Amino acid sequence: MTSAAETRSATTAAEEGGAGASGGAGRRVRDVGASGAGRLAGGRGPRRRLADAAASATMVLIGAIFLVPLLWVVLASFNTEATLSVAWPDDWSLGNFRAIWNAETTFRPLANSLLLCGGATLVTMTAAVLCAYPMSRYRFTGKRPLLLTVIFSTGLPITAVMIPVYSLFVQVNLVDSMLGAILFLGASSLPYAIFLTKGFMDAVPMEIEQCAWTEGAGIYRALWSVVMPLMRSGLSVATIFTFVMMWGNFFVPFMLLLSPEKLPAAVTLYTFSSQYGQVAYGQLAAFSIFYSLPVVVLYLFMGRSLGTGFAAAGGVKG
Amino acid sequence: MSTPAAPATRRSEPAATAPSPSSPQSRGRRRRAGTVLGDRLTLARAVPMIPAAVLLLLFMAGPILYSLYLAFTDSAIRGEGAADTSVVGVENFTDALTDPAFWNSAGLTIVFTVVSAVIGQNLMGLLLAILMERAHRGVTFVVTAVVVAAWILPEVVAGYLLYTFFAGDGSLNAILSTLGLPTQDLLYTVPIIAVAFANVWRGSAFSMLVYSAALSGIDSDIHESAAVDGAGPLRRIWSVTVPLLRPAIATNLMLITLQTLSVFGLIFIMTGGGPARQSQTLPLYMYEQAFSYGQLGYGTAVALLLLLIGAVASLAYLRLLPEEEKR
């Protein structure tokens, strides 16, 4: 019952840690705590407990259904005889992992993914932080329309612009260029990254920068050594979010990259079945695990603040 | 849609709407407080925005403008229109609107969006968010971890996982037959429903996180007093929670609709749009026309029609927003 409130306070607390306790955030944490306590003090009758138990039971049921496909990929990866159905392996084996443990199948696609998504994340976050700073710190006419344009372009379905992008890339000879794919992927994530970054930057009070300014620091210096350290947690949420979304993206590299030696894991996984003739489901599962591992690790590393950060930025604030 | 700008407005508006320079006191104060920051944007101060502006103009605005030209040409990968492209006016659009395959895809896109996003993800997210408030903490922790894991997995992996789930020899049928229930063959009989369920599996976490964040902002006293007044749990959800969540619901619906309209990889992996185009939503139709048949101009026209559907849906959701949120 209190978990949602706790998540909220946890993320706000995390924000505070980075941003140095702005008054508003602190007050919200206290409010949530107080109302939670009030509810506890109110006591819980048998009807209430029954309702709570029903809520738990429903959640377990939903969770079990959501779990089945995830269970399949884990169990099948250790089962060289894996079929389409989820099943406990008769003998656990690392055979599937051994079969795909080579440069061509696994390491090169993953390295390509890392190059593509890492490069694009770097492009996106550099441009986003630089762009968010003036938007957060200065007044100018057209600021609101500009912000609204940024917000609306976050909703632009990238799928719908891929044909003209492909067509343009053919004309300037950027198709099958890793740099071209990095720049496009970077640009396509930019509106959301600017929006997230600006939100986190707004939470950093300006007074501290003003000190830096009076001591003669330029704007880049102030941004780099004052503002960015203070919004560290927000920046890591934005960076990891950007990276995770790019890592899962299939359509962009599918359209823009052609040579087998340049393809990232998203695309080679699609060609996985055709590559080997008959589909080896165990190997497909093992490769899926390798491919998913980075984002799962990042998620575990960032914990709930990542998820709540996304949603807060995407839904509640937006 | 105005809330995201709230922090910015709070910061900048007092300055903008402050008692105008007529009062000498306020002018002096402002000059001292904001000699550098909170000041007006000058050309030199806008320099950091250049990289983002260049990227967005080249790779986003450019292609969008180009698509407005491309959609009116016979541009193609091969054959006529490949060597020399010529403007053909609205021919691509009239072709699309008279092609039964286009209408099939448009219909499937709407079914897919309504079933998987507006109903599926939205209600599943809301249900999970409400249950989270009540369920045992350990249960909530584990279940939300599973639901969010489904969301962060790469699209292609999700496609394969849900394919194995719904396949004839897949997990769902194994479970159904263990329970003595009749088995299903959704991937062949109604593939659009199979991919819609897949999209619910993949996307519900987003709505859940949005709603749980919004719910945690609602004062629980309101629920207490509604309960004291004798409102049952369902009644409380309908008459208290849902109206308070209205802004969150409208923005969430808009975001998940736009995401769902453009889903490509999930369906492409699971069914490839088949069998017999029964799950070919507009993005897959667009892809087929542009790349399998090489009709870039026609594919772009279809993409613009897809954008039009998204724009119409967004406008509809904006009407859902309470007046004070629109500003």
Residue B305 has pLDDT above 90, yes or no: yes
A93 with A179, same domain: the answer is no
Which of B62, B207, B213 is nearest residue A312 as measured by Cβ atoms?
B213
Q: Work out the burial of residue A172: count CB atoms within 10 Å of its CB; fewer than 13 is exposed, 13-18 middle, 19 or more buried.
A: exposed
Judging contacts by C-beta atoms under 8 Å, the chain B residues touching residue A244 are 152
pLDDT tens, B78-98?
Answer: 766 677 778 888 889 999 899
Global ipTM: 0.81
With contacts defined as CB-CB under 8 Å, which chain A residues touch B142? 63
The shortest CB-CB distance from A295 to any of B129, B152, B254 is to: B152
Q: What is the pLDDT of residue B107?
A: 95
Q: At what angle do helices B137-152 and B122-134 cross, to 10 degrees?
A: 150
CA distance A193 to A186: 10
pLDDT for the residue B134 = 84
User: Is A87 in the same domain as A178?
Assistant: no
Query: Three-class SS of residue A272?
Result: helix
Give the CATH superfamily of B93-326: MetI-like (1.10.3720.10)
User: What pLDDT score was predicted for residue B37?
Assistant: 53
> Can you name the residues that pair with A139 across neighbouring β-strands?
B40
Instruction: Kindly determine whether residue A32 and residue B216, on different chains, have CB atoms separated by under 8 Å.
Output: yes
On whether both A152 and A225 belong to a single domain, the answer is: yes
The CA distance from B137 to the nearest CA of chain A, in Å, is 6
Claim to verify: residue A83 and residue A109 sit in the same structural domain: no
Report chain A residues whose CB lies below 8 A from the CB of B300. 163-164, 167
CA closest to A3 among chain B residues: B137
For helices B296-320 and A162-171, angle between their N-to-C axes, nearest 10 degrees:
140
**Last residue of some domain: A47, A71, A97?**
A97
Per DSSP, A203 falls in state T
Question: B148: which chain A residues are within 8 Å (Cβ-Cβ)?
Answer: 299, 307
Contacts of B51 in chain A (CB under 8 A): 126-127, 130-131
Classify the phi-psi angles of A173: left when phi > 0, otherwise alpha if psi is within -120 to 50, otherwise beta. Answer: left
| Domain final residue pick, A97, A123, A149 | A97
From chain B, the residues in CB contact with A59 under 8 A are 128, 131-132, 135, 139-140, 143
The SS3 assignment for A280 reads coil
Please give, one letter per residue, the 3-state secondary structure of A38-91. Answer: HHHHCCCCHHHHHHHHHHHHHHHHHHHHHHHHHHHHHHHHCCCCCCCCCCCCCC
Contact B64 A58 (CB under 8 A): no
Collect all residues of chain A within an 8 Å Cβ-Cβ radius of residue B12: 139, 143
Q: Which of A126, A159, A223 sits opposite B51 (nearest CB)?
A: A126
Using omega within 30 degrees of 0 as the cis cutoff, is the peptide bond preceding A191 cis? no
CB neighbour list of residue A39: distance below 8 Å, 6 or more residues apart: A1, B220, B224
Residue B122 has pLDDT above 90, yes or no: yes
User: Is the pLDDT at B156 greater than 70, yes or no?
Assistant: yes
Q: Per the CB < 8 Å rule, is B6 touching A63?
A: no
B265: nearest CB among A68, A251, A265:
A251
What DSSP string runs through A170-193?
A: HHTT-TT-HHHHHHHHHHHHHHHH
Environment class of B71 (CB within 10 Å of its CB; exposed 0-12, middle 13-18, buried 19+): buried
- Inform me whether the pLDDT recorded for B261 exceeds 60: yes
Structure tokens at B249: 């619901």
Shortest CA distance to A287 belongs to which of A156, A97, A154, A149? A97
Q: Which two tokens stand for residue B61?
A: 């605005």
One domain, residues A164 and A255: yes
Q: What value, to the nearest 5°, has the Cα angle with vertex B215 and ends A240 and B312?
A: 75
Per-residue pLDDT in tens (0 to 9) along chain A, 318 residues = 333 433 333 333 333 333 333 333 333 333 443 444 444 444 557 777 888 888 899 999 999 999 999 999 999 999 888 888 888 888 888 888 988 888 888 899 999 999 999 999 999 999 999 999 999 888 888 888 888 888 878 878 888 899 999 999 998 999 999 999 999 999 999 998 998 899 888 888 888 888 887 777 788 888 888 889 888 888 988 898 899 889 999 999 999 999 989 999 999 988 876 555 567 888 889 999 999 999 988 887 776 665 555 555 444 443
Q: For residues A69 and A76, give the distance between their C-alpha atoms in angstroms, rounded to a whole number.
A: 10
Compute the nearest-CA separation of B161 from chain A (Å).
Answer: 5
* Count: domains in chain A: 2
Q: What residues make up the domain containing A166?
A: 99-316
Convert the pLDDT of each residue in B51-64 to its tens digit.
Answer: 999 999 999 999 99
Query: Are residues A187 and B15, on separate chains, in Cβ contact within 8 Å?
Result: no
User: Average pLDDT, whole number, for chain B?
Assistant: 82
Q: Which residue of B has its CA nearest to A313?
A: B4
In this complex, which of B45, B165, B263 lies closest to A69 when CB atoms are compared?
A: B165
State the count of interchain CB pairs (< 8 A) between A and B. Answer: 368
What does the H/E/C string look like for chain B? CCHHHHHHHHHHHHHHHCCCCCCHHHHHHHHHHCCCCCCECCCHHHHHHHHHHHHHHHHHHHHHHHHHHHCCECCCCCCCCCCCCCECCCHHHHHHHHCHHHHHHHHHHHHHHHHHHHHHHHHHHHHHHHHHHHCCHHHHHHHHHHHHHHHHCCHHHHHHHHHHHHCCCCHHHHHHHHCCCCCCCHHHHCHHHHHHHHHHHHHHHHHHHHHHHHHHCCCHHHHHHHHHCCCCHHHHHHHHHHHHCHHHHHHHHHHHHHHHHCCCHHHHHHCCCCCCCCCCCHHHHHHHHHHHCCCHHHHHHHHHHHHHHHHHHHHHHHHHCCHHHHC
pLDDT in tens, B168-205: 888 999 999 999 998 888 898 999 999 999 999 999 99
> What pLDDT, on a 0 to 100 scale, did the predictor assign at position A156?
82
Can you give the pLDDT at residue B81? Answer: 66
Q: Which of B311, B318, B306 has the alpha carbon at shortest distance from B281?
A: B306
Question: CB A168 to CB B62 under 8 A?
Answer: yes
Q: How many residues does chain B have?
A: 327
User: Residue A214's pLDDT is what?
Assistant: 79
Which chain A positions have a beta carbon within 8 Å of B184's beta carbon? none
Contact B136 A52 (CB under 8 A): yes
Do A106 and A75 reside in the same domain of the chain? Answer: no
- Which tokens in the block code for residue B297? 């101009």
Last residue of a domain, one of A97, A119, A146: A97
Nearest-Cα distance to chain B for A254, in Å, is 10
A194 with A84, same domain: the answer is no
Examine the domain organization and report whether A21 and A124 are in the same domain.
no
Contact B56 A291 (CB under 8 A): no
CATH of the domain at A295: 1.10.3720.10
Domain match, A80 and A24 both: yes
Instruction: List chain A residues with CB under 8 Å of B253.
Output: none
